[in-house]
Structure 1
Amino acid sequence: MSYAEVNGINLYYETHGTGRPLILLHGGLGSGEMFAASLATFAGNHQVFLVDLQGHGRTADIDRAIDYHLIADDIAALIDHLGLDRPDVVGFSLGGGVGLQLAIRHPEKVGRLVSASAGIRRDAFFPDLLAQQAQVGAAAAEFMKDTPMYELYQRVAPRPEDFPRLLDKIGETMRKDFDHTEDVRGLRVPTLIMGADADMVPPSHFVEIFNLLDGGLRDGGWGGEGRPKGGHALAILPGTTHYDIIDSPLFAATALAFLTEKA
């Protein structure tokens, strides 16, 4: 259990296992503990760095927005701080979006990327979900006191009283329009796009992202010669939702199968 001072933020991280370095990036309102079901599997043949992102878990918030681009820069700085050579990255939800931005902004620092349950256009999310996200803010803190997210924050956060502030910042981020289509189209890091078959966006959106990466546009061929030129891949995990995909045994198994492919 350690802290790294990078970009003006004191990032908490844990190290598990040995082998090729792998960074795990958790979802919004969570922490590295979200990977509890898969951590041992990942650490079986990797040196895993489990990070708590800005304002989450054991990493205290700082005076800036919760922004995917800035958090991606934090992880790039952490990679330099730790002296890692192109670690692989697995991100879920918020972490999946951060992972994409890390690979887009700092491709020279990443080996392979798994981006799970992360949409690249706000209008791809289901309308009822967008309506719910519009209600996220400090006023909702009182109604979340019986949730695992609140319990986790109260248990580990450096300043437990900051939970309403985190909700305000996450809510503000959720309400901002975004479209990363053109950025993703130029992605050079081999990337697995992963989603649940009942996620926050329809499975067709993950296919759309795969199409942007030269995937699903032609027959793959007997020898794989028609697969995406950048080494990208797509996985839709059956019987999962946005809320339990990370706990499925298929999550780590699918991610590791991609990460251990020969370049």
Structure 2
Amino acid sequence: MVPIAAKPGRPLLSAAAAIVGLALLAAPATRAQAEVADSKGLAVHYDVHGDLRSGGTPLLVLHGAYMSADAMAPFVERFARTRPVIAVDLRGHGRTGDADGPITYEAMADDAAAVLDAAGVRQADVFGYSMGGSAAFQMAIRHPEKVAKLVSVSAGTRLDSAYPEVLAGIAQITPEVFDGSPIRREYDRLAPRPQDFPILVEKLKVLDATPFDWNAEMRALGHKTMIVMGDYDIMGPEHAVEMFRMRGGGAPELAARGFLTEPPLARLLVLPGTSHIGVMAEAETIVTLVTPFLDDVTPPMPPGFF
């Protein structure tokens, strides 16, 4: 999802442009190894950072709406210091072209699974932001055997968890909103058919207006899960807590101990004073706190406490 803000005297302005503009400042000067996977006839582009044969669990990174693998550089570059990373251009985005039919979270999840197959990766941890976070949920639901741990950033399991004002803003988007923005410049630079941008806008508006509710599937997942959200995100922090509890987080018997003796099944990170776009400026904090989760590290006890 992409929140839209109106400014006096100006047309509706896509806040998503700020996401890409910020992220591209951190984009690497040289690209990692570029690869292509076939997903039911769609050529899905992805980049490999590091050695997938190193023996460590790779991290699959899924970007948000109107973004690309390049735009996730603030996260990819940091995660790649400690593990191999696969960054995907989701359908209709980056170097991956569009396909017939709608863009759906289910289709993006299938594309991501096809990327792992093409890369020869049996199982990966999955990290998704915004639209990519919802695709990550669907990947765990549809391809549970391919997902080790799951990290969802600024994404929900119900459409109605988003603020009505956000959904109303998305409904007003037009292709012209992006004219001259970093998003449009990056799309024109990367897309195999730059003239398809209006099609992408319409498909994403449909995606963000289509009701969904994955709470039942979320409860049934067997994956360790970390939920990350800003306290001023596109949905209220109460939904972050709802998802955290659905994944087994906040168990009273664990809280009663006063400390954890083993890695918990679920972790929750709510970033203070942080909006949906502001999450992209918190890559250092997020990677620092997500890495122990990916590594299955038990939260430490204060020295000398007992």
- Is the structural similarity TM-score above 0.5? yes
Measured after TM superposition, the shift of residue 227 of structure 1 is 8.0
Secondary structure of the residue aligned to 1:23 is strand
Alpha-carbon distance in 1 for matches of 2:294, 2:211: 31
Match of 1:160 in 2: 194
Q: Describe the superposition over 1:69-121 as per-residue Cα deviations: whole angstroms up to 9, x where unpaired.
A: 11111111221222113111110001100111111111111111111100111
Give the conservation status (yes or no) of the 8 Å contact 1:92–1:246: no
70-79 or 191-200, which moves further after superposition?
70-79
Measured after TM superposition, the shift of residue 257 of structure 1 is 2.0
- When residues 111 and 226 of structure 1 are mapped into structure 2, their CA distance, relative to the original with a 3 A threshold, is closer
Larger Rg: 1 or 2?
2
Give the one of 78, 91, 97 matched to 1:60.
97
Measured after TM superposition, the shift of residue 262 of structure 1 is 4.8
Does 2:37 align with 1:4?
Answer: yes
Does 2:28 align with 1:15?
Answer: no
Match of 2:31 in 1: none
Secondary structure of the residue aligned to 2:216 is helix
- When residues 212 and 227 of structure 1 are mapped into structure 2, their CA distance, relative to the original with a 3 A threshold, is farther
**Superposition CA RMSD, Å:** 1.8
Alpha-carbon distance in 1 for matches of 2:241, 2:177: 36
Alpha-carbon distance in 2 for matches of 1:51, 1:183: 24
Match of 1:212 in 2: 246
What is the TM-score of this pair, normalised by structure 2?
0.80
Match of 1:186 in 2: 220
Unpaired segments of 5 or more residues in structure 2?
1-33, 299-306
Measured after TM superposition, the shift of residue 244 of structure 1 is 2.4
31-40 or 95-104, which moves further after superposition?
31-40
Does 2:290 align with 1:255?
Answer: yes
Quick one: which amino acid aligns to residue 177 of structure 1? P
Alpha-carbon distance in 2 for matches of 1:262, 1:187: 21
Give the conservation status (yes or no) of the 8 Å contact 2:263–2:296: no
Measured after TM superposition, the shift of residue 4 of structure 1 is 1.3
Measured after TM superposition, the shift of residue 209 of structure 1 is 0.7
Measured after TM superposition, the shift of residue 46 of structure 1 is 1.1
Match of 1:224 in 2: 260
198-207 or 36-45, which moves further after superposition?
36-45
Give the conservation status (yes or no) of the 8 Å contact 2:178–2:184: yes
Match of 1:177 in 2: 211
Measured after TM superposition, the shift of residue 183 of structure 1 is 1.0
Alpha-carbon distance in 1 for matches of 2:71, 2:233: 17
Alpha-carbon distance in 1 for matches of 2:281, 2:296: 23
Alpha-carbon distance in 1 for matches of 2:89, 2:263: 35
Give the conservation status (yes or no) of the 8 Å contact 1:237–1:250: no
Give the conservation status (yes or no) of the 8 Å contact 2:37–2:114: no
Quick one: which amino acid aligns to residue 13 of structure 1? Y
Alpha-carbon distance in 2 for matches of 1:244, 1:146: 21
Secondary structure of the residue aligned to 1:175 is coil
Alignment of 1:91-170 (within 5 A): 91-136=128-173, 140-170=174-204
Measured after TM superposition, the shift of residue 192 of structure 1 is 0.4
Give the conservation status (yes or no) of the 8 Å contact 1:17–1:45: no
Alpha-carbon distance in 2 for matches of 1:251, 1:223: 22
Quick one: which amino acid aligns to residue 235 of structure 2? V
- When residues 226 and 214 of structure 1 are mapped into structure 2, their CA distance, relative to the original with a 3 A threshold, is farther
Measured after TM superposition, the shift of residue 133 of structure 1 is 1.5
Alpha-carbon distance in 2 for matches of 1:168, 1:224: 47
Measured after TM superposition, the shift of residue 175 of structure 1 is 0.8
What is the TM-score of this pair, normalised by structure 1?
0.92
Match of 2:301 in 1: none
Measured after TM superposition, the shift of residue 39 of structure 1 is 2.1
Match of 2:7 in 1: none
Secondary structure of the residue aligned to 2:235 is coil
Give the one of 40, 45, 58 matched to 2:82.
45
Q: Describe the superposition over 1:157-200 as per-residue Cα deviations: whole angstroms up to 9, x where unpaired.
A: 11111100000100011111111111111111111011112100
Match of 2:277 in 1: 243
Alpha-carbon distance in 2 for matches of 1:157, 1:93: 21
Give the conservation status (yes or no) of the 8 Å contact 2:61–2:76: no
